[in-house]
Amino acid sequence: MILAKNLHKYYESLHVLKGVDLHIKKGEIVSIVGASGAGKTTLLQILGTLDLPNKQQNTVLEINGSSVLNLKDTALSKFRNQHLGFIFQFHQLLPEFTALENVCIPGFIANRNKKEVETEAKRLLTYLGLAERVDHKPSELSGGEQQRVAVARALINKPAVIFADEPSGNLDTQSAEMLHQLFFKLREEFNQTFVIVTHNEDLANMADRKLVMKDGLILE
Ligand SMILES: Nc1ncnc2c1ncn2[C@@H]1O[C@H](COP(=O)(O)OP(=O)(O)OP(=O)(O)O)[C@@H](O)[C@H]1O
Ligand SMILES: [Mg+2]
C-alpha cells in the first residue's frame, strides 16, 4: 500500500530524514512515535504528498500502486483528494461552514454528485454520533465533536490511506479513547490503512506495528 525507500529531507543544513525506508500493508494500522523534533511530522507530510523529499538516487514513494513523486501539481491534488485522508491535531475545519458542509467539501472537489455526497456525509456523521449536530458550525461543537467531524471529512472520498498527526493530542482522555477505538472500527468496516503519529502511549501500543523515529531514521 505504501512503499518508501531512501527518503531524505533537509531544511537548509538540518538533515531531518536520513534515508527512511518503510513498507506498510493494506489495512495495517501503524503508529509512529519518537521524541519531539525527531522528524515524525516531516515524514508524515512527505508520505501524504503534502511535502516533497530531497530526491536522491533510488528514492521511491509508491502509494496505492502510484509512483507519487512523478505526479505534477494537478494530478497530485487529484490523487490526494481521491486516495488520501488527513486528520491533524487541530481539526482545521472551515469555521464559516457547518459540520455537514465541511464533510462534503472534499466530495464536491472530487466532482461527485451533490446528493450522493450529502447522503454519505450524513451517514458518516451519524455513524460518528453526530446526527444531531450536522447543521452546527465548528465553533458550536466540542473539541471531540470537531475532531469527529474532521474524521468524517477525511473519510468522505473513501481514501485508501488515512494519515493522522497527533489526532487525539487535543482531546480529553475519554474523547481520545473513543477516537482511537473508532480508527479500529473503521479499519474493520472499510479496511483502510492508517498511519498515525502520536505521543499517546495507549494509541501507539494499540497499533499493529509501532515505529520509533530517532535521529531521522526508523528503528522498528
Ligand atoms: N519548515 C521547516 N523549516 C525548517 N525546519 C523545520 C521545518 N519543519 C520542521 N523543521 C525542523 O525539523 C525537525 C523535525 O520536525 P518535525 O516537525 O518533523 O518533528 P516532530 O517529530 O513532528 O516533532 P513533534 O513531536 O514536536 O511534533 C525539527 O528540528 C524542526 O525544527
Ligand atoms: Mg510533529
Encode pLDDT of 126-135 as tens digits. 988 999 999 9
> Going by CA atoms, what residue is nearest to atom 8 of ligand 1?
42
Q: Ligand 1: which of 42, 43, 89, 200 to mutate, judged by most atoms within 8 Å of the beta carbon?
A: 42
> Going by CA atoms, what residue is nearest to atom 5 of ligand 1?
11
pLDDT in tens, 210-220: 999 999 999 96
Q: Which single residue is written with the C-alpha cell 475545519?
A: 93
In 89-170, where does DSSP find H-type helix? Answer: 99-109, 114-127, 143-155
The pLDDT assigned to 175 comes to 84
CA 40 / ligand 2 centre spacing (Å): 6
The pLDDT assigned to 190 comes to 85
pLDDT in tens, 144-164: 899 999 999 999 999 999 999
> Going by CA atoms, what residue is nearest to atom 13 of ligand 1?
37
pLDDT in tens, 95-116: 999 999 999 999 999 999 999 9
Binning pLDDT at 50, 70 and 90, where does residue 121 land? very high
Contact predicate 192/160, CB 8 Å? yes
The pLDDT assigned to 96 comes to 97
